[in-house]
Amino acid sequence: MIEVSNLQKYFGDKQVLKDISCEIKDNEVVCVIGPSGSGKSTFLRCLNALEKAQEGIIKVNEFVVTDPRLDHNKLRAHAGMVFQRFNLFPHMTALENITLAPIKVKKESTEVARQKGRELLKRVGLGDKENSYPHELSGGQQQRVAIARALAMDPQVLLFDEPTSALDPEMVGEVLDVIKSLAHGGKTMIIVTHEMGFARQVSDRVFFMDGGQILEVGTPEKIFTKADGERTRLFLSKIL
Ligand code: ADP
Ligand code: MG
């Protein structure tokens, strides 16, 4: 389970996360929606210790993320992140991108890592692309490799930060389909997205963020059809 208590995050003197508290259960799928600049990415990055919070407590299963003694490598093996820009290593093949961390960080043998990597490539529909370099792949294919790379560490938690925002429209569906296929398969997933149809289909709960706060939490049914908050409704009226 993920537990966040009274999280406060500043960049300089600007407060970007204001007293965030929430709980997310094992195997739950949460979509985070909200306007640009509302703190969605910063919130995800705090969960993964890519950003340091000034105040508050974050627990991700057995990891106390806000503890200064945190082992960052172990946390990031446990909670994988998929970014808007796929961030693949350009000089490595798809399979090498996937096997790098399992070999270096988890000390898996090359043979085991490659075998697992091939299975993961199949799982994201790229069984025939193991030797392709990122520049030989479409944006949608690169993002699917990035998802396979995150899965290769066998994380319990997957964090997605606008995984389809950098894609041409015709490639959004194939990436969302892969994410959907992972949902409720034993991993906790937190997905920042502007794809409202997807959020509605895949999530157990939706968090609406604005101005550094989680302003409303509810089932997708509730948030998308009868949100309580004025700001939630205003935001949705602009993008739906
Ligand atoms: P979102 O993902 O919802 O668009 P962000 O978490 O990226 O929002 O940003 C929240 C606020 O924090 C914005 O005002 C943004 O400009 C600011 N911010 C984000 N990252 C940094 C940074 N590294 N340094 C200074 N300000 C930042
Ligand atoms: Mg963002």
pTM reported for the whole predicted model = 0.96
d(Cα 58, Cα 223) in Å, to the nearest integer?
25
- Ligand 2: distance of its center to the CA of 14 in Å? 17
Measured from CB, residues less than 6 Å from any atom of ligand 1 are 11, 16, 34, 36-42
State how far the alpha carbon of 163 is from the alpha carbons of 60, 63, 83, in Å. Answer: 21, 25, 6
Q: In angstroms, rounded to a whole number, what is the distance separating the alpha carbons of residues 228 and 217? A: 10
Per the prediction, the chain carries an average pLDDT of 97
Could you read off the pLDDT of 177-225 as tens digits, one per residue? Answer: 999 999 999 999 999 999 999 999 999 999 999 999 999 999 999 999 9
Cα 132 to ligand 1 centre (Å): 34
3-state helix, strand, coil in the chain (%, to 5): 40, 25, 35
Q: Which ligand is nearest to the CA of 165?
A: 2
Ligand 2 centre distance from Cα of residue 148 (Å): 22
Nearest to 193 by CA among 80, 36, 72: 36
Which tokens is 170 given? 């015709």
